[in-house]
Structure 1
Amino acid sequence: AYIWDKLNLKSQEVDLRKFDRLDGAASKVHAGGSVAELVKMLLMEMRSDLEKVRAIWIWVCHHIEYDVEGFHNTELRSSSPDSALRSEKAVCAGYAGLFKEMCSLAGVQCVEISGYSKGYGHEIGTQFRGDSDHAWNAVHLEGKWHLLDSTWGAGNVNHNSTEFTFSYNEFYFLTNPALFIEDHFPMESKWQLLEPKISLQQFENNLQKSSHFYNLGLQSIQPESSVVRTVNGKANITIEGTSPTLFIQKLHENKDCAIISLKTNGAEIEVYPQKTGKQKLKLFAKAFSSKDESYHFICEYLVHCDSINRKFKIPKELNNPVGPSWLTESQGLLQPSQPNPIIHTEDGRCSIKFHTEKELRVMAMLYSDDVQMTEDIKRRHIFQSQREQWVEFKVQLPQAGMFVFQLYANKKSVPGNHYNFICNYLISCTNPKVKWSIFPLTYNNELVEPLSGVLPANRSVQVKLRIPKVTEVSVQGKSVYPLTLTKAGYWEGTCSTTGSKDLNVMVQEIPNHNTYSFVLNYQIENE
């Protein structure tokens, strides 16, 4: 990869804000009867060569439509500057020819470059042979050549080039040569404007990153080759950028084959194909700060999978991103006890802790493709407790397998019971002996024991829990068993499960009052 100024995507430092007035005026100029008349009207107030090139660029990108009919039928195609101006349509050669003619009339040195491009419809692995398939320009400013492509700056065609949409793209104006070479390969190597030059084979093999990749502030991605081979059924991709960014992926149109972990201004992506062979992996991204919910295509890999990791199947309920990150911190969940997205447990149990903001309410659910669970059971394999500003989730799995731990939160000040999705963990257990029962049904207390929600029949059971701001606590079954408040602040005592179908822990909040509140329930096994 070539070194480039990662703070500036241009080959020349340009303050685009200074072009606001120029751009607005240039885009509104109406074409005259000839190219010469147009240039005269367009450049009346332009002084520097950079301003002249900018005005020409803006006009061409906003007024010349890609000629999709001419692209498919050469008899309908005309590439002369005059015909492009009259019809306001052109293919790439028409764009480049018109741009060169306008620059020449403006007194700016400009050349037309032909070569190969990775445009719409390009397939990874394509070998470029024969005549060129695209044309663009280079302009000479302040003693240096700069590259630009007004065809791609004007807008987009669909996959089979039958429809054009105006969609201005700043990226292709004075693009840094190290970035331009990713999708433009000139027939004359000198117009790479790079040292050392890259070969056609390197151009064919290198990963093509879309303009959105760089416009989003992303800087690098590994691997740099467009073809990736799995190792033990997995492929790894690492992305780095300059600002918080969200990502999604599609592997052969399947969204359930990858784990995306957000890192500081980037991401790590683990891909687990569910079939062997060659498959397209498409990556999309959006700025976290953007109010637009749409994700933009940033690149595509061709994944070669020789074998499937059948021991690692991602549950369908897993939503990316997975694991704690700057995203969970932005939602008020800090200092995670489990920093990794995947939790491996041998005995089927684990604990997840977060430091929380005071005004945050949190809840969690457990999902699995292999275990049918009601909504209540999904919650009751997780025991949630909160002390001061720490929230802890104890998890007991009903069996071995892959489970999704989903975390939700909202502000206490927000009315209603709507919780926002925060993140997932993936919990993996391979021990076939694991078979934990549900936790007890509990409300607003810190339970120490017993943690199993199902108790054996005909047993004496020790109970210990912390419930602040109550005056009396008892366990009610066939009999009533009062608990005692210790100096450490716990309510403790012993109760019996004999003759009971369940046990309920009741509390009295007002002294000498007959009103009791239910806070905890245990089920009793059948005899």
Structure 2
Amino acid sequence: MKTKALRSIILFALLAMAIPALTGGVCAQIRHDFRNADQRALGAPADVEEDLVRLVDYLTENVYEDRNKVRAIYRWITDRISYDIHALNNPPDDWPSPDEVLFHRRAICTGYAVLFDEMSRIAGLETELIIGHSKGLGTLNSGTSDFTSNHMWNAVKVDGHWALFDATWGAGYVTSGGFFIPSFNDFYFMADPVKIVYTHLPEDPDWQLLVNPVSKKQYREHVWVRVPFFRHNLSIITHREAEITSYGELQVRLGVPGDVIISAALKFDGNPVHGNHIINYGGSDAQIDMSLNLRGKYTLEVYAREKESADDRLELAMIYHINNTQTPVANRMLARQYGRFLTSRGNLISPRQYILDEGRLQFDIVVPGAREVYVVNNDKLTALHQQGNRYFGTVEITGGDLKLAARFGGQDLDILIEYMVSD
């Protein structure tokens, strides 16, 4: 039975997250200061790491709260055990023993789970192995899945309440090129049942730890999201489903807090396409408008970061799969937006198409924080009228380069939007 179950588990370690369930959980996630437990786990001497009992005794010495015991165990496993890429591609016939995982210091999800289970038991904690489906690398790459069980994780009773743990996903992730990247992820320690349920669906619904469990249909159809979706407090206004059918044009609206910015990447059959989407903000909402000029399969990747972050990199937050069944009436590209426009959380009202005709044209744009906004046409600057954060005006344009640019704090002009004017 164990061998059969193992062979049914296709193991993935790509970090992923899910959108919140619509029902409340019975186990609330409460954050504590785990610095002492983490420090003890990371500083465990080599001599105690040769035996499970000695190791657990060391990690839990003079520790009386369950949450601190299980934290030290979780932190040690996620730091010391590496994901076994070879075993991922060549699954063994049986689960490894906890001692085997300790000796080799490599594992796939079964190894992480059985080691976490055994160490928790040695520490005197009540624990349960959970088998189910996870939305990992394979689900993401294919866009489809039969949703049979492919993963294993843990539940542990902590201070009288069951909590969920995934040490595999907490230890790091596997790149699309097949390399394991160690990267501790705190999200999967006492994971919020309301959030983890759409990437982890147990075979036994009771282990969702939700008052009203999510159905397999709900799990299968929900959009694929990752930890940054929750870290940046994003929300979905339209299109909760993972698979969208479109008819040449598509708009997706998200809730985006004022201190967060998003960007998007559109791909067709896995290849990036440019000039086919724009992002506009309105209050705490952001709308992604897409012009899909080819019939077939698109993916929309949404990235996020804090607006004032010193790190310019954005994190992948969610992915949609789009089946476009027809092309727009007019095969059109959309205006090209620059980073400064996105960080200002602007709104391009008009024009939105990339290719413009010569003549008099009405411009209308919202740029929070700008002092001045100009139409720059072949090096000629024309200032737009200002009304609060809104800039507008009618400008005579000629063939060649055309940009919208703004001054913010200094004298330099930052490009916001780029067009092309046909002769």
TM-score, normalised by the number of residues in structure 2: 0.80
1:71 alignment partner, one of 79, 88, 93: 88
Give 1:227's aligned amino acid. E
Q: What residue in structure 2 maps to residue 177 of structure 1?
A: 193
Q: Matches of residues 56-455 of structure 1 in structure 2 within 5 Å?
A: 56-75=73-92, 79-122=96-139, 123-129=142-148, 132-159=149-176, 162-220=178-236, 222-231=238-247, 233-252=248-267, 253-311=272-330, 313-315=332-334, 317-319=336-338, 327=345, 341-343=349-351, 348-350=360-362, 352=364, 360=371, 363-366=374-377, 375-376=378-379, 379=380, 382=382, 393-398=393-398, 405-412=403-410, 418-421=412-415, 423-424=416-417
Secondary structure of the structure 2 residue equivalent to 1:259: strand
Q: What residue in structure 2 maps to residue 40 of structure 1?
A: 57
Contact 1:127 1:204 in 2 (8 A): no
**Displacement, 1:184?**
0.8
**Displacement, 1:391?**
7.5
Pair 1:406–1:102, CA change in 2 (3 A): same
**Displacement, 1:392?**
6.4
Contact 1:261 1:321 in 2 (8 A): no
Q: Distance in 2 between matches of 1:361 and 1:180?
A: 45
**Displacement, 1:102?**
0.9
Q: Distance in 2 between matches of 1:355 and 1:78?
A: 57
Secondary structure of the structure 2 residue equivalent to 1:32: helix
Q: Identity over the aligned pairs, expressed in percent? A: 23
Q: What residue in structure 2 maps to residue 25 of structure 1?
A: 40
Secondary structure of the structure 1 residue equivalent to 2:311: coil
1:485-507: per-residue Cα shift (whole Å, max 9, x none)?
xxxxxxxxxxxxxxxxxxxxxxx
Contact 1:95 1:151 in 2 (8 A): yes
**Displacement, 1:168?**
0.9
Q: What residue in structure 2 maps to residue 499 of structure 1?
A: none
Unaligned runs of 5+ in 1: 329-338, 367-374, 429-433, 436-527
1:121-140: per-residue Cα shift (whole Å, max 9, x none)?
322222224xx211000111
Give 1:183's aligned amino acid. T
**Structure 1 vs Structure 2 CA RMSD:** 3.6
Q: What residue in structure 2 maps to residue 502 of structure 1?
A: none
Name which of structure 1's ranges 291-300 and 314-323 shifts more when overlaid on structure 2. Answer: 314-323
Unaligned runs of 5+ in 2: 1-19
Secondary structure of the structure 2 residue equivalent to 1:274: coil
**Displacement, 1:66?**
0.6
Secondary structure of the structure 1 residue equivalent to 2:116: helix
Give 2:201's aligned amino acid. F
**Displacement, 1:360?**
4.7
Pair 1:128–1:265, CA change in 2 (3 A): same
Pair 1:390–1:340, CA change in 2 (3 A): closer
Contact 1:78 1:90 in 2 (8 A): no
1:102-129: per-residue Cα shift (whole Å, max 9, x none)?
1111111111101111112322222224
Contact 2:252 2:289 in 1 (8 A): yes
**Displacement, 1:67?**
0.8
Contact 1:228 1:235 in 2 (8 A): no
1:388-439: per-residue Cα shift (whole Å, max 9, x none)?
x99865422448xxx9652232434x6xxx4333x339899xxxxx99xxxx
Pair 1:75–1:194, CA change in 2 (3 A): closer
Give 2:198's aligned amino acid. E
Q: Distance in 1 between matches of 2:391 and 2:295?
A: 42
Q: What residue in structure 2 maps to residue 508 of structure 1?
A: none
**Displacement, 1:356?**
9.5
Secondary structure of the structure 2 residue equivalent to 1:74: coil
Q: Distance in 1 between matches of 2:93 and 2:198?
A: 31
Secondary structure of the structure 2 residue equivalent to 1:249: strand
Q: What residue in structure 2 maps to residue 55 of structure 1?
A: 72
Q: Distance in 1 between matches of 2:79 and 2:284?
A: 33
Q: Distance in 2 between matches of 1:404 and 1:102?
A: 64
Q: Distance in 1 between matches of 2:56 and 2:350?
A: 61
Contact 1:356 1:391 in 2 (8 A): no
Q: Distance in 2 between matches of 1:390 and 1:206?
A: 37
Q: What residue in structure 2 maps to residue 476 of structure 1?
A: none
Paired residues in the alignment total: 390
Give 1 or 2 for the bigger CA radius of gyration.
1
Secondary structure of the structure 2 residue equivalent to 1:14: coil
Give 1:278's aligned amino acid. K
Contact 2:276 2:290 in 1 (8 A): yes
